[in-house]
C-alpha cells in the first residue's frame, strides 16, 4: 500500500515540475529532479524478489534443522 502512495506522490511531483518549467517559474535544470516511475517500480520489484529469496532460504534452513532434530 505504501508503495502505491509513494508512486502517486512521485507522479504528482513530476507533473508539478513539468508545469512549473512550462510556466518558466523553474529553469530547465529542474527537470533533473524528476524521478522515473519505471525505475522506482523496478527497484521495488527487486526488493520484493530479494525478500522472497530470503524467506525461502529461511524456510529451507528451518526444515533442515527440523530434520536434524528428528534424527
Kindly report the backbone phi and psi dihedral angles of residue 36, in degrees, each rounded to the nearest multiple of 5, phi listed first.
-75, 125
The confidence score (pLDDT) of residue 23 equals 94
Give residue for cell 524521478: 35
Question: Using an 8 Å Cβ cutoff, are 10 and 33 in contact?
Answer: no
Q: In terms of pTM, does the model score above 0.75?
A: no
Question: For residue 8, which of 34, 46, 37 has the smallest C-alpha distance?
Answer: 37
Q: How far is CA 53 from CA 4, 17, 34, 43, in A?
A: 23, 38, 31, 15
Per-residue pLDDT tens digits of the chain, which is 71 residues long: 576 777 788 889 899 999 999 999 999 998 888 877 666 677 778 788 889 999 999 999 999 998 888 87
The confidence score (pLDDT) of residue 7 equals 76
Amino acid at each position: 500500500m505504501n508503495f502505491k502512495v509513494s508512486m502517486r506522490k512521485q507522479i504528482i511531483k513530476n507533473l508539478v515540475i513539468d508545469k512549473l518549467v512550462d510556466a518558466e517559474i523553474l529553469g530547465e535544470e529542474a527537470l533533473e529532479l524528476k524521478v522515473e516511475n519505471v525505475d522506482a517500480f523496478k527497484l521495488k520489484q527487486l526488493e520484493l524478489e530479494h525478500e522472497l529469496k530470503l524467506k525461502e532460504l529461511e524456510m529451507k534452513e528451518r526444515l533442515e534443522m527440523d530434520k536434524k532434530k528428528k534424527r
